[in-house]
Amino acid sequence: MYETLYRNILLPMFDGTIKGRQTMKHWQRAEATQWHSRSELELQQLVDLRRLVAHAAAHSLYYKNLLLEHAIDPATISSFDDFRRVPLLHRETIARNRLQLSTSLPMKRISKSTGGSSGEPLHFEISAESNDRRVAMTYRGYGWAHAGPGTRQLYIWGTPPSRLAAWKRWKMSLHHAFDHHLVLSCFEFTPEMMHRQLRRMNAWRPQVIVAYTNAAYEFARFIESEGLQVWQPKSIVVGAEKLHDFQRIVLERVFKAPVFETYGSREFMLIGAECEQHSGLHLSMENLFVEILDDEGQPTPAGEEGNVVITDLFNDAMPFIRYVNGDRAIAGFENCPCGRGLPLLRKVTGRQLDVLTTPDGRKIPGEFFPHLIKDYRSIRRFQVIQNDPHEIIVRMVTSGGLTLADLHHLENDLREGIGPIVTLKLEQVDDIPLTRAGKLKVVVNNLQTSQTSGRLPEHSDLAAGSDDQPAAQGALVCQH
């Protein structure tokens, strides 16, 4: 009943009439275009790419200079190969050229920050139109998992620190109630807390569970090991961290519901999502152009692993053109038996954040740290290390603007997640070394305990942290 009321009256009235957004229009169009042929979608993609590059050349000082330097005329882009002449965009480049990347046109802009799961939080802008399109893609992708707007959903997710202003907490609670969501924090997963959260979940009786991958997996293992009764939803949507086959098996066994994997990030929201066929991740092709490239910047042969590179087709506020997001995936965009023209991303292989454990039984998802530290703009790079069950070390490279008050707030915020027993050390350092693969492993659990059972062996790239899984939606990614 509420789902019908929400979709047909409340959401259109709030989103369109009150807020003046175009989300519903983009969502309706996306529900139709997903059934267009691959060739039709690619043709429109090329048109949108050409428009984007022309817009960036005209209104972004950074791209104006870049395209002139490489003798690229947007009007001559007639193929994807032509488009690939535009140089790659890296996180460090954005940090150094943020003002020059932003366009000069007046428009409604939304400031965003990544969770910094790659170790360096990123601050950027998106246009209001781009945001509306992103939300529409999320509505469509989640809809494949029976988690469309208005459905009764339980989120096992990240929550803001308790020092957040009371009015902001009230506003968030009101928003969750309007959306028909119950949000449970996965940042305090002690056995006692998981008992409490299970009781709340069973009382809520959600149609769908939306969760961070590792948090949902730890929750399911706890429920199974304790022999507890759990409400059975229609489906489970996971994101923010790579879903492995062994995790899917456990989740589906415990909750007796199909699991749908999503892939997203704060920079782009939903990049890909599984449909009912579970054959791979359908790309949000109408919004994004996704490439898989080797370390030399060339297209990776199908079946081989490469770097994920993404272009947002409609972020006119601050164009992200051929952005190397730090993830790794298997190349080769296949078709799905479902009949949708949206190509499938075969498999995302990076990035995976370690789970930390404490003597009082807490299992702290690695996403807790970037989720929190993203709000401290003076912290340019960080790394969390656990060498001992009773100690957690946070190393930080700062810009010099981190005050004693900031350190006090940071310590209090971290303490909410790690609990009172563990010693917390905050260390300001000049640099944090990268791995041999040139990556920064953000959360490092050096403990060899039974808690790591079911994870990848330590010699694998994913376990070693050469590739880090994004925060999502999102996320979803403990992205929202």
Instruction: State residue 450's pLDDT score.
Output: 37
Is residue 91, in this structure, part of any structural domain at all?
no
Which residues face 156 on adjacent strands? 184, 211
Is residue 47, in this structure, part of any structural domain at all?
no
pTM: 0.76
By the 8 A CB rule, do 309 and 291 touch?
Answer: yes
Residue 423: give the domain boundaries: 356-455
**147 or 117: which leads in pLDDT:** 147
Is residue 404, in this structure, part of any structural domain at all?
yes
pLDDT band of 380, cuts 50, 70, 90:
confident
Give kind and range of the element (H or E) at residue 96: helix 91-96
What is the Cα gyration radius of the chain?
A: 22
Which residues face 260 on adjacent strands? 237
> The CATH number of the domain where 404 resides is what?
3.30.300.30
Is residue 370, in this structure, part of any structural domain at all?
yes
Is residue 374, in this structure, part of any structural domain at all?
yes
**pLDDT tens, 275-292?**
999 999 999 999 999 999
Give residue 190's Cα distance to chain centre.
24
For residue 84, which of 96, 72, 102, 99 has the smallest C-alpha distance? 72
Is residue 365, in this structure, part of any structural domain at all?
yes
Is residue 348, in this structure, part of any structural domain at all?
no
Whether 201 shows a pLDDT value over 90: the answer reads: yes
Overall domain count for the chain = 1
Is residue 385, in this structure, part of any structural domain at all?
yes
- Give the start-end residues of each E strand in 36-163: 109-113, 123-127, 153-157
Instruction: State residue 119's pLDDT score.
Output: 57
**268 or 475: which leads in pLDDT:** 268
Instruction: State residue 23's pLDDT score.
Output: 94
pLDDT band of 72, cuts 50, 70, 90:
very high
By the 8 A CB rule, do 156 and 184 touch?
Answer: yes
φ/ψ of 162, rounded to 5, equals -65, -20
**pLDDT tens, 309-344?**
999 999 999 999 999 988 889 988 889 999 999 999
